[in-house]
Structures are given as C-alpha cells and as structure tokens.
C-alpha cells in the first residue's frame, strides 16, 4: 500500500517537472506570437501573457510592406534550397564510393575525411581561402565552403553500407553503370536517410547568420537571419523607418518578424521529428 502510493507520487512529480520543461520551451514562442497579434495598447501596458489581446495583423502587414524583409525572406529561401540541394548531392555521390568495401584507396580517403573532424583551424584561414577564391559577396560563399558536413557524410556512408549488396551486384551484371545504380537504385532507396541528413542541412542553412554575415557585404543579399539580427539586437537605422513611423509597439514588429522567420521551421518540426531523432541517434552511434 505504502509502496504503491509512493510510486504514484513519484510519477506525478516526474510528470509535473516534465510539464515545466515543455512549458519553458513552448511558452516563449506562444508569448512572442501573442504579442505580434495584439493591439498596441495592451502590449505597452504589459497585459499580454498567453493569448493575443485585441487581435489584429497590423504588425504583419507593416513588416511585409517594408521592402527589406520580404527580400531577405526570398534570399533565405534561395540560399536554403540551393544550399541543401548541393549538400545532399555532394554527400550522396561522395558517400556511395566510400561505402563500397573494395573501393580504391577507401581507407586513406576515410582517414583524410575523419581527420578533419579533429583539425579545425578556426574562421580566419577559412575566410582567407574563400577570399582567395573570389567568393566573397557571392552566394556561392554560403554554399560551397560547407558543401559537405563530415558528420552527415559518415552517417550516409554507414547507411549505404548496411544496404543490401545484391541489387547492386545484379545491376552490375546487367551492365548498369555505377552512376545509374547510384541515381536510380541507391538514392531512391535511401530516401529516409537523405531526409534525415537533409533536415540538418536545411536547418543549418535556414538558421545560419554568422556565415552570411562575414561573407556578404551587400545588404540586398542578406538572408533573413542577418536582417533579423540587425533589427532585433542592434536596433540599427531600420528601426527608425520601421518603428517610429507607426503607432505600433516595436515589440510587436520585432515579434512579427520572428514569427514569420519561424513559420517554415515550425511547420516541418512536428513532421520532421522522426527524422530529426533518427539523425541524432545515427550520429551518436558513430560518434
């Protein structure tokens, strides 16, 4: 009897603590969204806590009519789609040869690749190389220098290694080329693994701010995160144009921009969790 009640007390405390954790991660986003949808008066008085008060979408209209943010949004979409595509293609065509046990020089190539995980000379030499290649202020600087992430390459290579070799052997006997096998058999069969590493690549591009910040000088090329950082953290000039001209609370405008930037991520997040968790676990097994 005593024992039983202690168990349920334990479960209740455990459950409550976990609810606290979940609230701590969800609440900030709820709060930001509520502010962005509320009427100025309520925001200024600090009356918005959970749900929007005086629901309206003025902040969104204003953010979207400002030329800077829609353009940054388009830039981000361009960089992310092009970047993720390049990443996946490069990783897939690199992982395939490495996954073949008899591949020429496999051991040495793998050593060369894995070694780079422990040798990280820092940002300056990277910057110097990118500069030498004339990539500064081009969007290639955001795509090419990080075209392959070693971790994701190893994950995909391991996935290919665990695939059945019979199909490949049969296809080779039928006279199919390696290219054909890779693009028509291996890649279609590895969709779950590609989705998993693709998610990491996608998140990396969508959320990156430091790399575009150092490699791009032209403000019209800035992706969303760099513009956000200028707006939110440094309150640079654009706030004068964005904020003062309106009766809207600056907080509402900021938060509307944040919410807009989070929409794609939050939309894929519930569906992506399967791949996300898988990616982390695959990584940890190799790690």
Residues 76-135 that bind another protein (CB under 8 A): 90, 93-94, 96-98, 100, 102-104, 109, 112-113, 116, 118-129, 131-133
Which of helix, strand or coil describes residue 218?
A: coil
Find the binder of another protein among 54, 111, 179, 220 (CB under 8 A).
179
In the range 219-248, which residues lie near another protein by CB under 8 A? 225, 228-229, 232-233
* Residue 145 token pair: 């220098």
Cβ proximity to another protein, 25 vs 164, nearer residue:
25
Contact status: 29 vs another protein (CB under 8 A): yes
Find the binder of another protein among 80, 139, 254, 260 (CB under 8 A).
254
- Structural contact between residues 193 and 159, judged by C-beta atoms closer than 8 angstroms: yes
Residue from 278, 269, 271, 268 nearest 155 by CA = 278
Residue from 77, 44, 212, 202 nearest 141 by CA = 212
Residue from 259, 214, 205 nearest 232 by CA = 259
Cβ proximity to another protein, 200 vs 221, nearer residue:
200
CB of 125 to another protein, least distance (A): 4
Instruction: Give the count of beta carbons closer than 10 Å to the beta carbon of residue 183.
Output: 14
Find the binder of another protein among 9, 12, 14, 74 (CB under 8 A).
14
Find the binder of another protein among 9, 12, 26, 111 (CB under 8 A).
26
Find the binder of another protein among 69, 88, 182, 242 (CB under 8 A).
182
Contact status: 195 vs another protein (CB under 8 A): no
Residue from 218, 183, 211 nearest 80 by CA = 211
Please state, in angstroms and rounded to a whole number, the distance separating the CA atoms of residues 43 and 39: 7
* Residue 48 token pair: 């918005």
CB of 132 to another protein, least distance (A): 7
CB of 259 to another protein, least distance (A): 10
- Structural contact between residues 255 and 36, judged by C-beta atoms closer than 8 angstroms: yes
């Amino acid at each position: 009897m005593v024992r039983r009640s202690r168990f349920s007390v334990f479960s209740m405390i455990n459950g409550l603590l976990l609810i606290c954790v979940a609230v701590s991660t969800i609440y900030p986003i709820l709060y930001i969204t509520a502010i962005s949808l509320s009427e100025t008066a309520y925001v200024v008085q600090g009356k918005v806590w959970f749900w929007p008060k005086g629901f309206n979408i003025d902040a969104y209209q204003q953010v979207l009519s400002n030329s800077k943010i829609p353009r940054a949004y388009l830039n981000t979409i361009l960089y992310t789609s092009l970047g993720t595509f390049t990443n996946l293609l490069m990783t897939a065509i690199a992982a395939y040869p490495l996954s073949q046990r008899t591949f020429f020089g496999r051991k040495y190539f793998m050593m060369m690749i894995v070694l780079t995980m422990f040798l990280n000379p820092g940002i300056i030499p990277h910057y110097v190389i990118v500069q030498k290649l004339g990539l500064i202020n081009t969007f290639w600087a955001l795509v090419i220098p990080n075209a392959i992430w070693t971790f994701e390459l190893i994950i995909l290579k391991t996935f290919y290694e665990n695939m059945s070799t019979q199909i490949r052997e049969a296809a080779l006997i039928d006279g199919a080329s390696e290219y054909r096998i890779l693009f028509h058999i291996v890649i279609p069969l590895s969709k779950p693994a590609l989705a998993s590493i693709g998610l990491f690549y996608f998140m990396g591009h969508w959320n990156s701010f430091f790399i575009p910040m150092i490699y791009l000088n032209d403000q019209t090329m800035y992706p969303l995160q760099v513009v956000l950082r200028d707006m939110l953290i440094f309150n640079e000039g654009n706030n004068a144009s964005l904020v003062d001209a309106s009766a809207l609370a600056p907080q509402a405008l900021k938060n509307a921009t944040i919410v807009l930037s989070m929409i794609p991520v939050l939309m894929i997040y519930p569906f992506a969790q399967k791949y996300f968790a898988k990616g982390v676990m695959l990584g940890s097994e190799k790690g």
